[in-house]
Amino acid sequence: MLPTNFPLNNGGSIPAIGLGTFGPKESLKEIARSAIIDYGYRLIDTARFYQNEEYLGEAIQSVLKEGKIKREDLFITTKISNDEKGKGEIEPKLRESLKKLQLDYVDLLLIHWPLGATDNETKKITQTPLYQTWAEFEECCNKGLCKSIGVSNFGVQLLLDMFTYCKIRPAVNQIEIHPYLTQEDLVKFCQDQKIVVQAYSPLGSFGTKDLFWRPWKENILEDKLLKELAEKYKKTPGQIALNWGLRRNYVIIPKTERKERLEENMKAGSFVMEEEDYAKISKLNKNLRCIDTKYLDIAMRIPIFC
């Protein structure tokens, strides 16, 4: 068996497998409810940008009202981007999210993106300095509005800079990782610094209609090696890819809008492959990103991955 939880640097822990929710809105209530009740998911990941927090909140409350699951059994993550217009914006935004989620606190609050918003006409960038944003995250944590705080889409340089001013070190760095984007150096750096790595798009997000900025067409689930290993271990290619991620000791949050995939993804850690097979998967790296800001046709047009 592979890890089912990872320790956080503040003494808490985070489930190894969670449900990503980017994309679905109205359908999220049914999917999230089924994930928790039927398949044992405890980690659910959302963000203000997803515009689905209220639907997730309805799902959580419907589950809690049944009395089978307690609030402390769940690990709920949301995110706020660093594109607000000035100091003092984070707590009000978090309180809005909590109201939609119908919760008193979230278990993890992340800076969704380290970049600000760019005016399409003037090209002027609106961004609060990260040290100010992080101080507001720390204040929210001290007030009990979130149990842990962390970042998303941060590289080594931004993390090193953060270490010079943070009073609370980030507990998590959520980044894109899959067999075609292994991020070896960044993963190792975070783990050496006791920052839990969390992988979004762990299956390459193939088929996600919302990812109109995805600049490549390869389907990871059709990869020859993953299909061969799936046959060898009597699993699916998706389970092979997710299992590889768990073996690298980071959290995975695959998203799905199909109930049949919930069980498949949750069982990805129920087996162990031979070490040479994990090594083979790591060699599939092509440095291909699903989420590359160079291709975003929205306000955030800064190529932070250069």
Sign of CA dihedral 142, 167, 20, 100: positive
Choose the catalytic residue: 41, 50, 55, 180: 50
50 is catalytic: yes
Residues assigned a catalytic role: 50
